[in-house]
Every structure is written in C-alpha cells, then in structure tokens.
C-alpha cells in the first residue's frame, strides 16, 4: 500500500455516542490515518489532507455544517462542496456507518428525525443521489440477522413508523455490493482486568435503553426472585439534560455530557452486578453493550441474536442463553449456570480483549482499504469469531 495515509473524516461536534468518540480517539493514535474533524478543523485543512492521502473514509452521516433543522439548506450546501472535493480527488472512498444499523437507513430514506418536511426529504435524496456513485465500499456494523426474528409483542411504538424495516436494508445491500462488516468494539483504554474476587451487590441489571423486549425480560427476572440493580439518580439527571441539547445546540456538548454520565454510571453498576440481561431490541442488532458488559466484569444473559456466533460468542462459553417461556425453566437455567459462571465471565472478557477492540477494527479497516486501492476488494466480514478479507485472508 502507498505510504500516504488514509484520510479519516469525522464531524465530532455531532457524534455524541461514547463508543464512536472512543473509536475516533483511537484513530488519532494510529499513524496510518490522519483525522480531519469537519466541525473544528478548517476547510483548508481538509483540502490539504486530501492531496496527501491515499484514500478517504467518511465516518457518519452527511450534513456536516454545524446547523439545526431550520438551517438545513446550509447543511446541504456544505454537503455539495464536500461531495465535489471527494469526486475531484479521484481517491477510493469508504462510507463508514458506525451507529446501530437500523438508524441510518431509516433516518436517511424515511425522514425519521433530521428531515422536517417533504422539501427537506427531496433535498436529502438529491444529496444521496450525488454521493452514492462515489462510494467504493460501505463499512458498517454486523448486518446478518437484522430484522429477521421480530416478535410483534416486543416491538416498540417507534418501530411502527417503519412498517417494512427490511426495505431500507435491502436498498443498502442492493446498492453497495462491496461491504465491510465492522461491528462495535472497545477501546484499549477501557479494557482493564476486572477484580475477579469481588463480591456482587446485585443479581442482575438491564443496562441501556428500555426497549420493550428488555422490559418484558426484566419483569421475568424480577419475578424469578433476582435482586435488580437500582435505577440510578445519575441516569435520571442525564436524561433531563437531553432536552437542553435542542435548546443550546448539540455541538455545545450537552448530549455528550449526558451520555458520559450514563456510561460511567453503567460501568460502575456492571462491576457490582453478577448478570446483565441484554438483547438487540425486537430488531436484533449487535449493540455495543455486547462488548461493554464482559469488559466491565458482568456476565451476559440473553435470548441471543443471530450475530453472536458469527462474532465468536458461544452459548455457555461467553454468555448464558436464557429461555423466558416459564419462571420454573428460567430459575433452572440460572441455577445451572452457577457452576460455569466464572469460566463464562473470564472467557467473555478474553474474547473482547483479544478480537473486539478498536485496534483490531482499525487494522481490519486498513487492510480492506489497501485491498480496495489495489482493486482486489469484494467483501469483508466475521465468520465464527474470525474476520476474513475477500473470504480467504484472515485479518486480526
């Protein structure tokens, strides 16, 4: 691969998720990449970096101008300039969607959050029509199994806005034949050996957003007599901060402060909790908590999602599979897990620390881009815990 670095474009003022910001921090530490933050660095910094780069990776959505919905047209104008420069560069271009998979297809094509009216939707479609021909490969989270096992009783109300969730996913798969599967991972700075001898305060927790599927499972666990980790007042404080992000603009950091509070509170809770129930909502996607929970020393209990085995998570080795059909069966499964609990706890921690780190993801991304530059790339994804480039070359 050429000695020129990969240009990594971000807009960190609008990226409030802890996992994404930790990833960007690790990109900055990798000498093979040069990061340009379009919300803070100047346009001239971007133009200079383009001339010195071998390829371009754009993390996140378009609409990089620091504006809110009332200035949406300015954001689109900024997109026009960005698209023009990417096109003129002639460099291989990778679009990296790092957020949970259901968000981008729906927000981009069905106007769920950022698009306020039909005119905005039309303009967004025009932007996408310009950018899609320039994209050589799409990098995103793990795609297999998404939307395949939706149980109607577990659907959240907001999911009714998308009567056919596979429509957008099919569009993405049909449009981008060259795809790189790069699911959530942990930063090396987050991975520290848990205190394996510590005593647990609570039997279980249900971290993260209260999807209906998680609420149903939480109720079953409480009825089984398990002690639940209490709801933290810090989480409530963080939730009350969110509305201010709209008033004062998210680039002032309100959303990121709130999410930082949530993250630290969750981390401290997991360290003191034996089991943590987790699922990927009714949609079944691989959320970051599948790597966060083992990192912080708790053991995942889950009904499972299709991606887990592909990513190296084996039942009764890295997580405890739970069937919620009856309380008696639930109690029996949890009682039976006590003997192998410590093995599962250590195995899951080792799995994450060995293969699900940002350093691994950056290495995988680097070699995928190198293959793209050479004109040899066609696919990259996980199979049984191993990442394969072009089906044959394993990248760690």
- In whole angstroms, give the CA distance from residue 379 to residue 177: 8
Orientation of helix 72-89 relative to helix 43-51, angle to 10°:
20
Q: What pLDDT is attached to residue 69?
A: 43
Q: Which two tokens stand for residue 31?
A: 């000498």
Q: Which two tokens stand for residue 95?
A: 């679009």
Alpha-helix runs per DSSP H in the chain? 18-29, 43-51, 72-89, 103-109, 118-131, 166-175, 212-223, 233-248, 254-271, 289-295, 307-310, 327-337, 341-355, 358-373
Q: Where are the domains of the chain?
A: 5-186+357-394, 192-229+272-355
- In whole angstroms, give the CA distance from residue 86 to residue 97: 17
- In whole angstroms, give the CA distance from residue 256 to residue 233: 18
3-state helix, strand, coil in the chain (%, to 5): 50, 15, 35
Q: Which two tokens stand for residue 351?
A: 């799995």
Q: In what order do the strands lie in the sheet with 299-302?
A: 202-205, 273-277, 299-302, 320-321
Orientation of helix 118-131 relative to helix 72-89, angle to 10°:
10
Q: Please give the chain's pLDDT, 396 residues, in tens.
A: 556 899 999 876 666 678 888 999 999 999 999 999 877 777 888 899 999 999 999 887 654 443 344 444 445 456 778 888 999 999 999 999 876 544 555 455 444 444 444 555 555 556 667 788 899 999 988 777 777 778 888 888 877 766 667 766 777 788 889 999 999 999 999 999 888 988 899 999 999 888 899 999 999 999 988 999 987 655 665 566 555 555 554 444 566 677 788 888 899 999 999 999 999 888 888 999 999 999 999 999 998 888 899 999 999 999 999 887 777 878 888 887 888 999 999 999 999 999 999 999 999 999 999 999 999 999 999 999 999 999 999 999
For 192-229+272-355, give the CATH class: alpha beta
Contact 304, 290 (CB under 8 A): no
Q: What is the number of alpha carbons within 13 Å of residue 111 lying toward its C-beta?
A: 12
- In whole angstroms, give the CA distance from residue 105 to residue 166: 10
Q: What pLDDT is attached to residue 41?
A: 77
Q: What pLDDT is attached to residue 15?
A: 66
Q: Which two tokens stand for residue 205?
A: 């927790």
Q: What pLDDT is attached to residue 32?
A: 96
- In whole angstroms, give the CA distance from residue 104 to residue 96: 11
Contact 83, 130 (CB under 8 A): yes
- In whole angstroms, give the CA distance from residue 124 to residue 83: 13
Contact 369, 57 (CB under 8 A): yes
């Amino acid at each position: 691969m050429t000695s020129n670095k990969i240009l990594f474009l971000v807009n960190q003022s609008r990226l409030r998720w802890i996992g994404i910001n930790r990833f960007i921090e690790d990109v900055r530490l990798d000498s093979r990449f040069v990061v340009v933050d379009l919300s803070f660095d100047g346009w001239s910094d971007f133009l200079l970096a383009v001339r010195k780069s071998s390829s371009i990776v754009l993390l996140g959505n378009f609409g990089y101008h620091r504006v809110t919905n009332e200035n949406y047209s300015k954001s689109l104008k900024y997109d026009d300039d960005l698209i023009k420069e990417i096109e003129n560069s002639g460099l291989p271009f990778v679009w990296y969607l790092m957020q949970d998979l259901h968000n981008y297809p729906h927000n981009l094509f069905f106007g769920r959050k950022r698009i306020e009216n039909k005119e905005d939707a039309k303009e967004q479609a025009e932007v996408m029509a310009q950018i899609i021909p320039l994209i050589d490969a799409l990098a995103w989270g793990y795609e297999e199994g998404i939307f395949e096992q939706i149980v109607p009783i577990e659907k959240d109300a907001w999911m009714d806005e998308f009567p056919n969730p596979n429509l957008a996913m099919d569009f993405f798969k049909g449009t981008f034949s060259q795809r790189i599967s790069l699911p959530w991972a942990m930063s090396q700075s987050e991975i520290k050996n848990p205190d394996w001898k510590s005593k647990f305060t609570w039997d279980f927790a249900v971290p993260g957003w209260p999807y209906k599927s998680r609420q149903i499972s939480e109720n079953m666990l409480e009825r089984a007599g398990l002690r639940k980790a209490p709801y933290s007042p810090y989480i409530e404080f963080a939730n009350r901060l969110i509305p201010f992000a709209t008033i004062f603009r998210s680039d002032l950091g309100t959303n990121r402060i709130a999410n930082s509070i949530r993250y630290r509170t969750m981390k401290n809770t997991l360290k003191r909790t034996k089991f943590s129930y987790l699922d990927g909502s009714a949609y079944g996607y691989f959320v970051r908590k599948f790597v966060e929970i083992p990192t912080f020393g708790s053991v995942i209990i889950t009904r499972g999602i299709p991606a887990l085995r592909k990513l190296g998570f084996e039942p009764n080795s890295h997580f405890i599979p739970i069937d919620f059909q009856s309380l008696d069966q639930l109690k029996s499964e949890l009682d039976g897990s006590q003997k192998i609990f410590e093995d599962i706890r250590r195995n899951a921690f080792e799995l994450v620390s060995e293969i699900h780190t940002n350093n691994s993801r950056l290495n995988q991304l680097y070699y995928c881009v190198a293959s793209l530059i050479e004109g040899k790339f066609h696919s990259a994804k996980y199979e049984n815990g191993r990442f394969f480039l072009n089906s044959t070359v394993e990248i760690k």
